[in-house]
Amino acid sequence: MNATPKNAADDLADVERVLAGDVRAFEGIVRRWQGSLLNMAWRYCRDRERAEEMAQEAFLRAWRGLGQWRRDGSFSTWLFALAANVFRSELKRFPTVTVPLEAAPEPSGAASQLNALQERSLHDVLRRAVLALPLRYREPVILFYFHEMDVAQAAATLRMPEGTLKARLSRARALLRRRFPHLEAEQAAMAFCRKTEKEA
Amino acid sequence: MKREPIDEILATEEELIPSSGFLPSVMERVQEAAAAPPPIPFPWLRAVPGMVVAAVVLGGGAVELVRLAIPAMKGLALNPPHLSAAVAQPLEQAGWVALALAASLLSWLLSRRLAGSSGL
């Protein structure tokens, strides 16, 4: 999902061709960024079908707004910022069905009984709980992990100062920790189980 | 930055692969948008004179209304109106008619709603 120099050069060339009237050149852009945009959309809604629709809409808006990309910033940052706007407004129009953060169940049970399925379920519940965070905390979390924990990139995508993003991330983590107080212990227990299973 | 369990979980997410039809369907929508005629611009040249005339008429009307209403309000404050029986009776009847119309409208809306929810 990070822009390599080759990608950047290809993006620039394709954008120039599209702006010159070659619509088919846009295919190169879609081919390079479809995975990233789909995964980003997925993190916003956690619904595969809807994520594809949202990513498609983002590409269409990108095609319409290509002329607005200023060459001083990277194409990927511009594309992700535009996509974040599209996803945000799509979710405002048709919100995802989420349970309130307080109602998100925390899988419980003796740590030793937790198996791979439960671990997966715990992870899934936590990821879905992100969707129940207030939008101002939810988006920094989504984009921070989407950008492989790069604060600068996430802040650039959201067009907010890095300090604000860090503060919101910290608050979001505090909310999630409060909701999942045993997470650390369960993670440690699961790691222990995995280790003993391997040794056995 | 110290990685917490939350970081571990949220950062290790399985990547989705776009379906085979995703790229063609994006390009189809882009081609459609490219082939569509450009939106018709708003006809400002034709609309502006009409808008100016409407604004003048509405503004003049409002000024005239205020100009006439002030002396009338003063007169009303000095001599509160007394409705004669000849005027009061038709007014009462008009009230009943309005109530009947409102009841009809309400029952029509209710029946539409019920028919809508039952799929009729």
Is residue B119 located within the same domain as residue B86? yes
Domain count, chain B: 2
Q: CB distance from A35 to chain B under 8 Å? A: yes
Is residue B76 located within the same domain as residue B98? no
HSE-CB at A96 with a 13 A cutoff on CA atoms is: 26
Higher pLDDT: B76 or A100? It is: B76
Q: Please indicate whether, in this complex, the C-beta atoms of A60 and B13 are within 8 angstroms of each other.
A: no
Query: DSSP assignment, residue A180?
Result: -
Shortest distance, CA A117 to any CA of chain B (angstroms): 14
Quick check: is B61 in a domain?
Answer: yes
CB contacts, 8 Å: B27 with chain A: 24, 26-27, 30
Q: How far is CA A182 from CA A78, A162, A179, in A?
A: 39, 30, 9
Is residue B73 located within the same domain as residue B88? no
Nearest to A30 among B19, B26, B33 (CB): B26
Number of A/B CB contacts below 8 angstroms equals: 80
Is residue B119 located within the same domain as residue B88? yes
Q: Note the pLDDT of residue B119.
A: 47
Q: Note the pLDDT of residue B75.
A: 77
Q: CB distance from A52 to chain B under 8 Å? A: yes
CB contacts, 8 Å: A60 with chain B: 26, 29-30, 33
Q: What average pLDDT does chain A have?
A: 84
Q: Please indicate whether, in this complex, the C-beta atoms of A27 and B23 are within 8 angstroms of each other.
A: yes
Domain ranges in chain A with CATH number 1.10.10: 101-199
Is residue B75 located within the same domain as residue B90? no
Q: Please indicate whether, in this complex, the C-beta atoms of B15 and A55 are within 8 angstroms of each other.
A: no
Best-predicted range by mean pLDDT (A108-112, B11-15, B63-67): B63-67
Res B17 pLDDT > 80: yes
Is residue B74 located within the same domain as residue B50? yes
Confidence of residue A187 (pLDDT cuts 50, 70, 90): low
Alpha-carbon gap, residue A52 to A5, rounded angstroms: 27
Q: Which helix (H) or strand (E) holds A20?
A: none
Quick check: is B103 in a domain?
Answer: yes
Q: In terms of residue numbers, what domain contains B51?
A: 46-81
Nearest to A60 among B16, B19, B29 (CB): B29
Confidence of residue A189 (pLDDT cuts 50, 70, 90): low
Quick check: is B36 in a domain?
Answer: no
Nearest to A183 among B1, B5, B19 (CB): B5
Alpha-carbon gap, residue A72 to B68, rounded angstroms: 63
Q: Note the pLDDT of residue A64.
A: 94
* A87 Ramachandran zone, left/alpha/beta (phi>0; psi -120 to 50): alpha
> Above 0.85 for ipTM, yes or no?
no
Quick check: is B112 in a domain?
Answer: yes
CB contacts, 8 Å: A39 with chain B: 13, 15-16
Q: What is the pLDDT of residues A152-176, one digit of tens each?
A: 999 999 999 999 999 999 999 999 8
Is residue B91 located within the same domain as residue B120? yes
Alpha-carbon gap, residue B18 to A190, rounded angstroms: 32
Q: What is the pLDDT of residues A49-81, one digit of tens each?
A: 999 999 999 999 999 999 999 888 899 999 999
Residue A32: closest CA among A80, A89, A84, A65: A80
Q: Are A142 and B11 in contact (CB under 8 A)?
A: no
Quick check: is B60 in a domain?
Answer: yes
Locate B25 and state its tokens.
């369907």
Quick check: is B33 in a domain?
Answer: no
Range A101-199 classified under CATH 3.40.50: no
Is residue B68 located within the same domain as residue B93? no
Quick check: is B71 in a domain?
Answer: yes
Topology (CATH level 3) of domain A5-93 = Rna Polymerase Sigma Factor; Chain: A (1.10.1740)
Domain ranges in chain A with CATH number 1.10.1740.10: 5-93
Q: Note the pLDDT of residue A114.
A: 53
Is residue B52 located within the same domain as residue B62? yes
